[in-house]
Structure 1
Amino acid sequence: MYFITSVEELQELSPFIIIGCGGGGEKFANFEGVEAAGFIDDDTEKQGKEFCKNVISRDLEEVIQKTNAKSVAIMLPIGAEGTALKYAVEAIDHGKNVVTSFRSLPVTQNESLIKFAESKGVVLKEISSRLDVVKKIFGVAPPQCTEILPKINYKAKAPVVFVGGTSQECGKRTTTRTLGKAAKEQGLNAVVISTDEMGLEKPADVNFRAGSLSVMDVASAVMGTIKYMEENKNPDIIFVEGQSSLTEMGNPHPRGLSAAILFGAKPDATVVCHRPNHPYREPRGIDYEVKAIEAVEPTKVVGISLNLRNVEDKSEISKYEEKYGLPTVDIKNGGASRLLKVIIDYIGESKK
């Protein structure tokens, strides 16, 4: 078995040189009974500064020679697996035990590293995601951590419009697509990003199922897509389709997905979709969703898109507009141009 199951196992391997002076490195150093003999980080801005009562170094061999460390702990983020492997090989070559946190690159998939550690007579273990525990409870689990994308932070140059909603199947995909079409008809270079495998219809520029990703990867996937589209299409405006809802009662599972897409979009303006009398979803309602969106992300909900599939009286639109104080449209019946004008006017005002 190559993964750590108790803090006592770490205590037996202490003291450690810890590679990675971020959250992971700090948490590792805070384990009870674990001594940090030194810290390494490739970031030149961190080198020479104090971290957890140690001065950060850049050279592993130098720290090995100067300390009594028995082991090296590699606490690097997702996306740095190549660097992690480099440090693991160097540590093993110097006769040091290695504890890793590769996550997306388990020790068991590194047969050459295992054989190298065995040849040097050192211990090689990982702090795993403990998917064995999940499998014990549910009977099924992914074979390895599904968090694999590097963490990025990108804010679009063009204005971004996020299309959220009060529930699943309330009109987000249709609203996103229709707004994109209206923008193009007005001569704007609009980009439409669908976060659904069903987002195949024009004018969607790109689509992927955000729900297939680890929720930890979703924001990066959305930001990365926006960055890619800006580099390749230089858009005037970007529309991002949301999924599910932050507040829907009946199905809590996709709510984290909805939040992650919102975080990744970093929208300048937001539209909320709602389906009155929804036959098989349990939305809390527009007021809840607007408050939730504006509470978790610095954006403004500027309008409502109503899905009137289950409504006989089409005068409902004016009632919603009066109740919530937001421009409200039937997106499938001529409402896109009005909603787009509201969005563009708001973005223009907010940039003054």
Structure 2
Amino acid sequence: MKECAIVYCEDKFGTMDGKTANGLVRSSRNYEIVGVIDSTKAGMDAGEFLFGIKNGIPIFKDLPHALELLKKVPDQFIYGIAPSEAFLKKAERNLLFYAMEQGMNIVNPLHEFFTNDQEFVELSKKYSVTINDVRKPPEKKDMHLFSGRILSIDTPIIAVLGTDSAIGKRTTSVLLEDALIKQGLNVAFIATGQTGLIQGAKYGVAIDAIPSQFMTGEIENQIMKAWTNEKPDIIIVEGQGALSHPAYISSCGIIRGSRPGAVIVQHAPKREHLGDFSYMKMPTVKSEIELIETFAKSKVIAVTINHENMSDEELDHTISEYENDLKLPTTDALTFGCDKLISSIFEAYPALKSKQTVTSQ
């Protein structure tokens, strides 16, 4: 049985900084999400607010309000915000202490590790709760350098990259994983960020918390573990940031470590500036494709769209425009599903089609 969890996302649910909470509301294999905390949207249904369909996950104004209305105290309190500063505010620190007092275990996706904080450690012992620092890397002696082992496997590896952070790469990756499984394929998904790991990915590493010297080796090691244990037909690797993004090097490590044979690129056509960098213009999808294909020596086989701030008409027009101009299958996986992506994968890797046991409708 899944443990139940409540997700804290004050003032950020449905925004870029609320991507961890957003992802958990959409999909969680580890936890049953019983509520979201965001006083600015209290009383609403989280699913209806996020994607227009009620899913029975209520939004509460604060933790006492949630505990008053829920049938039992949740097992886990998940900090569901991914702020650019990556550290707790004082009020949030006190809230986490209160959650621990109520007997809730803490799931922490920040770069600030609570297990290194004496006050958190002492309270966790006092109230017999656990702290999971999701991003906390292993000791350097336990990290992996790139070994080249990945060069010996012939399993197709698909990376889902993008033109910015918090643009939907993980969402598309998870949707594609589920769609390929429904086609009868054995799929391994490699998470590369904190949200995918919290959602329950079996393999992965929070790549932005790994020293750069070990990035490629840690990605390679997770892929090799999945390949050894699962004997997958295909491996899907979640991207982080963007290869062109001046503030992140995650995509470089992911590309070098995973050695993808093919790439899907996610783009938000109406996003004018990089998410946390309003003074920097977004790259075009065409320029990102050219950069990826040059850097990775891999072929981009499809484009996926994040439809933020787009009308249905704009979305349809953009899909047609991209397919005409880029000569690549283009879709919005959240709106239209993954049929075009699956077709592009089968075209790139014809041998996979023989493993298909279900025909797309």
* Counterpart in the other structure of 2:315: 314
Following superposition, the deviation at residue 319 of structure 1 comes to 1.5
Residue 298 (structure 2) pairs with residue 299 (structure 1): yes
TM-score (normalizing by structure 2): 0.53
* Equivalent residue in structure 2 for 1:245, among 219, 226, 242: 242
- Secondary structure, aligned partner of 1:292: helix
Matching residue of 2:264: 271
Whole-angstrom CA distance in 2 between matches of 1:196 and 1:209? 4
Partner of 1:198, secondary structure, is: helix
Residue 234 of structure 1 corresponds to which residue in structure 2?
231
Query: How far, CA to CA, are the matches of 1:326 and 1:147 in structure 2?
Result: 41
- Measure how far apart 1:349 and its partner are: 8.1
Could you tell me which amino acid in structure 1 is paired with residue 346 of structure 2?
A: I
Matched, 1:187 2:181: no
Shift of 1:334: 2.5
Aligned CA distance change for structure 1 residues 292 and 331 (closer, same or farther; 3 Å): same
State how 1:330-349 maps to structure 2 within 5 Å. 330-348=332-350
Whole-Å separation in 2 of the counterparts to 1:147 and 1:295 = 32
Distance 1:218 1:245 in 2: 15
- CA, structure 1 residues 333+204, in 2 after alignment: closer, same or farther (shift >3 Å)? farther
- CA apart distance, 1:341: 1.5
Query: Residue 202 of structure 2: which of 201, 205, 228 is its match?
Result: 205
In 2, Cα distance between equivalents of 1:267 and 1:278: 27
Aligned AA for 1:232? N
Mean CA deviation greater in 315-324 or 260-269: 315-324
C-alpha distance 159-200 of structure 1, shift in aligned 2 (>3 A): same
Cα deviation per residue 1:88-142 (whole Å; 9 max; x = unaligned)?
A: xxxxxxxxxxxxxxxxxxxxxxxxxxxxxxxxxxxxxxxxxxxxxxxxxxxxxxx
Cα deviation, residue 335, structure 1: 3.1
Q: Is the Cα–Cα contact under 8 Å of residues 272 and 282 in structure 2 kept in the other structure?
A: no
| 2:88 alignment partner in structure 1 | none
Aligned to 1:27: none
Gaps of 5+ in 2: 1-138, 275-280, 353-361
> Is the 8 Å Cα contact of residues 205 and 222 (structure 2) preserved in structure 1?
no
Secondary structure of the equivalent of 1:240? strand
Q: 1:202 Cα deviation (Å)?
A: 6.1
Question: Are the equivalent residues in 2 in contact too, given 1:146–1:213 (CA < 8 A)?
Answer: no
The one-letter code sitting in structure 1 at the alignment partner of 2:202 is D
Aligned to 2:146: 151
Provide the TM-score with structure 1 as the length reference: 0.54
Distance 1:303 1:330 in 2: 11
What amino acid does structure 2 have at the position aligned with 1:187? G
Equivalent pairs, count: 204
- Cα distance in 1 for partners of 2:340, 2:141 equals 42
Report if aligned partners of 1:161, 1:268 keep a CA contact under 8 Å in 2: yes
Partner of 1:183, secondary structure, is helix
Instruction: Quickly say closer, same or farther: Cα 1:190–1:232, change in 2 above 3 A.
Output: same
Q: Is the 8 A contact 2:145 2:218 kept in 1?
A: no
Shift of 1:146: 10
Q: Structure 2: how far apart are the matches of 1:333 and 1:203?
A: 23
Deviation string, structure 1 residues 144-167 (Cα, Å, up to 9, x no partner): 989953331122331000111111
1:48-74 C-alpha deviation (Å, 9 max, x unpaired): xxxxxxxxxxxxxxxxxxxxxxxxxxx
Q: How far did residue 283 of structure 1 move?
A: 2.0
Shift of 1:261: 0.4
Q: Distance in 2 between the 1:348 and 1:203 partners?
A: 30
Match of 2:211 in 1: 214
Task: Indicate if the aligned counterparts of 2:145 and 2:213 stay in contact, CA closer than 8 A.
Answer: no
SS of equivalent to 2:265: strand
The match for 1:289 is: 288
Question: Over alpha carbons, which structure has the higher Rg?
Answer: 1
User: Which blocks of at least 5 consecutive residues in structure 1 are unaligned?
Assistant: 1-143
